Amino acid sequence: MKIIQTRLQEHREQTSREEQAGFRPGRGCCDQIFVARQLMEERIRCGKRTVIVFIDFKSAFDCVHWPALWKSLEAEHVPWKIVRLLQATYNGSSSSVRIKNELSEEFPIKTGVCQGDVISPQLFNIVVDAIMKKVFDGRSGVQYGDNQFLTDLMFADDSAIFAETDTEATDIISSIAEVAESYGLRINGDKTKIMTTDGSEAKVYLEGVQLEQIQEFKYLGSLLEEKKVAATAEVNSRIGKASAAFASLKWCVWTKNGISLTTKMRLFRTLVMPILLYGSETWTLLKLDLNKLETFQMRCLRQILGITILSRIRNEHIRDSCGHQPTVEEQIRIRRLRWFGHVCRMDTTRLPGSLLWRKRPTQWKVQRAAPKKTWIKQVEADLKTLRCSIVEAKIIAANRQEWKRVVQAIRTPVAPTAVFGGQTAPPDTS
């Protein structure tokens, strides 16, 4: 199956929709989160109302009709030999249920893609792409730049649909429901939510039932909030999750004298910080939010070292004792610049680059009360510390190794190591 998957993937990369990033090489959740945040940033700042529909399909991978799947493969001009091999693999499939070490009688499987199979995500993507191509044929989507539009974002079955009016959103989701049903997929109305960028009331219907409107939605693990460009809600959510992860290791790791500080710091950097900083390269950060992140990190480091704020030890000394642990601001800045370089190296047809380098329509104006801080302004501030302009950065970023060297220059010079309890941790080289 791995050989078939490789050949199918090579073919699919030429025909896949740009809006689909799920299970594709060189793409990930960060691509879609960044695009969603940039789209919301531009339309919020310019006062353009946007209706976002987050669609949930019922048991999506288990309900795909096989005949529709084979037709989709043929429509994508997948080599007939691959189609025949897949049909031979699926036809005659059966399963049984184990209950208390006893197996039920076998029953035939006639729908869905095989769970756990390496090729199943690609097969599902083909079906979803076929649905969306039919639905959005002739539709332009919402505008974000001069002659630049976006209809939707997909990551496998995680879908975000964009519309300018309630009527348009209702029409789109009704079309998706109708087309998807012919492929075996049904929309879960209870879990499908809507949100508007300006916080205004929206009335969007699916099969005559009004969909629930929410103020924030967790899209691919990152919290998007109405009316907000800054990632305040996401920062609070990340701190909560990282706090829970840190607390779960308190008695088995952080307070154990038999575990070295070096090991504790490795665990902290591996199990806590990735949770805290997930998607941080896409954030637009307020100073208050950054302070919250720094405070959380320092609280963790103090607990690891077994000292309290009453000890009156400077934060710099604590960081040095923990292996010259960089500040959260430094870590986010490095992640942001790495992502900036990655976007600069992308093909011009890719959505992240299209959103980042968008040209605002001449008739659009930034609202007087619009948020002042934007993601690209943060990048400009980061580059200013390196005495580098955006134009120069784009040229340098084309060379991956050269850009990596530039980004590493962000790190604060290492200070002498302070010692607490006779232990120090090695420098953080992450």
Nearest Cα to 66, choosing from 241, 184, 199, 213?
184
Could you tell me the pTM of the whole model? 0.92
How many residues can be counted in the chain? 430
Radius of gyration over alpha carbons of the chain, in Å?
Answer: 25
- The tens place of each residue's pLDDT in the chain, 430 residues long, gives 778 888 888 888 888 999 999 999 999 999 999 999 999 999 999 999 999 999 999 999 999 999 999 999 999 999 999 999 999 999 988 888 998 888 998 989 989 998 888 899 999 999 999 999 999 999 999 999 999 999 999 999 999 999 999 999 999 999 999 999 999 999 999 999 999 999 999 999 999 999 999 999 999 999 999 999 999 999 999 999 999 999 999 999 999 999 999 999 999 999 999 999 999 999 999 999 999 999 999 999 999 999 988 888 999 999 999 988 999 999 999 999 999 999 999 998 999 999 999 999 999 999 999 999 999 999 999 999 888 999 999 999 999 999 999 998 877 443 334 444 455 556 665 5
Q: Which amino acid is at 242?
A: A
